[in-house]
Structure 1
Amino acid sequence: MISRTSIAAILLAGSALGAFAGQAPARLSDPDIPVSHSDRVYAAEQFSNTVSVSDPVDNKLLGVIKLGDPQPGNLSPLYKGQVLVHGMGFSPDHKTLAVVSIGSNSVTFVDTETNAVKHTTYVGRSPHEAFYTPDGQEVWVTVRGEDYVSVIDANTFEEKTRIKVPAGPGMQIFSPDGKYGYICSSFNPETVVVTVADHQIVGHVKQASPFCPNIAASPDGKQVWFTLKDIGKTQVFNAQPPFDLITTIDTGPITNHVNLVNNKNGSFAYVTVGGLNQVKVFKTDTFEQVATIPVGNLPHGVWPSGDGTRVYVGLENADAFAAIDTLTNKVIANIPIGQAPQAVAYVPNAVTTGDGKENLVPLGTAGQATLLKLGSKKQPGETSVSLFDQGLTQVLQASVTGLDPKKPYVLAFSDKPDGSGPLEGLSNFMTNPAGSAIVNAVGPIRQIVEADHKSDRRYLVVAASVDGKPGEVLQVQHD
């Protein structure tokens, strides 16, 4: 006969070793893990090349893991750090982060107890996301700049094989039982389903557009949700054969990431809509939208706590986390973090010994950015602009919305607040089918738009493109 003490020990061990706690990407039957000081919330930060580490109890940044330098240091031919830290996954035992850097073609494996880098594996051109199989034996990395998924041995950190898929794989996630891997594409309108055991494609799902950046599988093993950034839609398909499409939802311009939450109110999908600065919440049984949550500039990554009571959202153009209470669907905290957070991961029981602050450094210049707004006179908040400080220069990122779809435009400088007079082109861009775009540029832009002398100051505007040159001004800078 097993004693009560033995039963308690078995349950405790199961809780510590179990996949993730009844929340995505685990099984619905797994126990919830209440929010505690052992949990950590991570964000991969693209322009500071850092990973921020936060405590969800206090909603406080503990520090950042520095994986690389900002510009111009990372332009050196002798540079050894990571560039464009972007994607993120975590192991079933909660002890390892897999962090993808697009610009340096790498996957960095980080110990969650000590925040130390355990190994860096280099893969093909422009990897995007990485995630562990539910058994913890493999790490699948979507190599978006090519046409395969790199399969890495989780014990040796060496690539063991490649799974050929449609060119531009965007992200992969797994069924909670570990049978299937679901791989969407960022360059082709096709998601494929692959058996984890033998790496064979066994299913195909037609995407409504070619650009899928993110995908999530429901803990009950019934649904897979994926986002379409270019057309502002989210699609849902059956997680089991024949993998048929269930529904398509109009979510809004620059639809970024999706994740799934189970709480006492039911099962819900949380979708970040960058162009609207909102998170939209949908019931997973009826697909009814039940909440719209204003969160801040350009929401991107999203991940639930181990008990489903919270969702953490990375705000790409605000350098912050928004913490959402999922029972009220209200923002309860904002946490300053590094520059341009992309993927987000909430890891229950990430730290089981010590304070978990080893090898962390202060935010420092990684937290410095200038925020601007552009828009027409009637709608002044249509476009958000962040100037991420890189020393004497800044990386400009504009989340442009409110324009006509599939047309050329120019982000430009004007010497007049209303955009009148001569314009100097800064960056040409084409809007997507939803009339939005993410626009980047580099230069001493803050010094220009905040010049002390009016005669030296310039103002950012969005203008129509006429033969590649600025034409009619459509959006102007609002201080």
Structure 2
Amino acid sequence: MKLLLTAALPVWAALLASAGGATAQAKLLALSKGDHTLAIVDPVTLKVVAKAPVGSDPHEVIASADGRTAYVTIYGGGSLHELDVIDLVHGTALHPIDTKPFMGPHGITFVGGKVWFTAEGSKCVVRYDPASGTFDWTMGTGQNRTHMIYVTPDQRRVYTTNVSSGTVSILVDTVIGPGGPGAPRPHGDWAQTVIPVSRGSEGFDVSPDGKQLWAAAADDGTVAVIDLASKTVVDKIDAGVLGANRLQFTRDGRLVLISSLRSGDIAVLDAATHKAVKKIAIGHGAAGILMEPDGSRAFIGCTADDYVAVIDLKTLTVVGRIDVGKGPDGLAWATPQ
């Protein structure tokens, strides 16, 4: 990976230093799979303030809790083994992390000071500790194409979709230390529950109240609704979103947005009634979905159209487009603390 960043990065550093509130500080991170770059976007002006080069097949991005570092999965259809690391404050590309023997990193999140990611080619979930520079935990799923990931804030549960197996894995740390839940534990004892859903289930999200997981299936366009307490499918919605790629709840939990790489529409469902609300025309196909921290807008990576669409969540209309490069996909927020 090249270490040269655009000259605009000092502008980004200045914005970090001068920003006021938490929402004003947040910057949008957007990956371009075609240009192999990470764009840093001011969400107020919708302008790209900097771009950083990343590896050959970037798919997902996450920022550390302090907003100072970005981590990018270099996927390669399960064949590559790299996390790229970008210092967002000083405008430098740090040394990439070689994830071998964990192949094909894809889904990624940052919880509890650590980077959690799926390794699709190795059928497992991995945790990386930036402080020690080590992989300090991993667990296999035994499923095919372990792809996207969600980790609960207490780090006791991990959810992931297994695309080709048509399943959702729920990984649970079953050991509670002597001090009760959340207390230090001498070791972990993790158990997996595998829940059958439709083949091609990839994009998923957990409801803001933590009670349900919704997973969208590309093959038949359905959405499986899983009750996380009982670990069972309680509904299967015929959403008709063939080619479904990503699914996200709005911040208030009222609506669910689903993107499709085959369709020019974003499907909007009512989370309470499970009924269709609207289809929003955004282009010729979309992938990544990201909700604004204040809940007012959604950002959609329109891969086929080479822009990120901005949706007003009150009117459910497209109100802007951002040119971040060819084939935009993974999106994340960087919020300096």
Place the TM-score, normalised by the shorter chain, in its bin.
0.7 to 0.9
User: 1:147 aligned to 2:123?
Assistant: yes
TM-score with structure 2 length normalisation? Answer: 0.81
Name the SS for the 1:300 alignment partner.
coil
Number of residue pairs matched by the alignment: 297
TM-score with structure 1 length normalisation? Answer: 0.58
Counterpart position of 1:127: 105
Is the contact made by 2:31 and 2:324 (CA closer than 8 Å) also made in structure 1? Answer: no
Name the SS for the 1:214 alignment partner.
strand
Match of 1:245 among 233, 254, 261: 233
User: 1:41 aligned to 2:28?
Assistant: yes
Query: Residue type matched to 1:201 in 2?
Result: A
**Aligned pairs (5 A) from 1:149-188:** 149-165=125-141, 166-188=143-165
Counterpart position of 1:315: 302
What runs of 5+ residues in structure 1 fail to find an aligned partner?
A: 1-32, 68-81, 353-479
After superposition, the Cα gap between the structure-2 partners of 1:214 and 1:117, relative to the gap in structure 1 and judged at 3 Å, is: farther
Q: Which has the larger radius of gyration?
A: 1
After superposition, the Cα gap between the structure-2 partners of 1:176 and 1:109, relative to the gap in structure 1 and judged at 3 Å, is: same
Match of 2:72 among 99, 105, 128: 99
User: 1:298 aligned to 2:298?
Assistant: no
After superposition, the Cα gap between the structure-2 partners of 1:115 and 1:268, relative to the gap in structure 1 and judged at 3 Å, is: farther
Q: CA deviation at 1:34?
A: 7.0
Counterpart position of 2:6: none
Distance 1:307 1:299 in 2: 23
Q: CA deviation at 1:199?
A: 6.1
Match of 1:206 among 174, 180, 196: 196
What runs of 5+ residues in structure 2 fail to find an aligned partner?
A: 1-20, 176-187
Distance 1:224 1:42 in 2: 25
The two structures, once aligned, show a CA RMSD in angstroms of: 2.1
Counterpart position of 1:108: 84
Deviation readout 1:416-471 (Å, 9 max, x if unpaired): xxxxxxxxxxxxxxxxxxxxxxxxxxxxxxxxxxxxxxxxxxxxxxxxxxxxxxxx
Identical-residue share of aligned pairs (%): 20
Distance 1:89 1:239 in 2: 25
The structure whose RCO (Cα within 8 Å, separation 6+) is larger is: 2
Is the contact made by 1:217 and 1:239 (CA closer than 8 Å) also made in structure 2? Answer: no
Distance 1:90 1:238 in 2: 29
Name the SS for the 1:327 alignment partner.
coil
Is the contact made by 2:290 and 2:332 (CA closer than 8 Å) also made in structure 1? Answer: yes
Query: Residue type matched to 2:263 in 1?
Result: L
Q: CA deviation at 1:277?
A: 1.0
Distance 1:268 1:284 in 2: 5
User: 1:236 aligned to 2:225?
Assistant: yes
Is the contact made by 1:119 and 1:157 (CA closer than 8 Å) also made in structure 2? Answer: no
After superposition, the Cα gap between the structure-2 partners of 1:199 and 1:308, relative to the gap in structure 1 and judged at 3 Å, is: farther
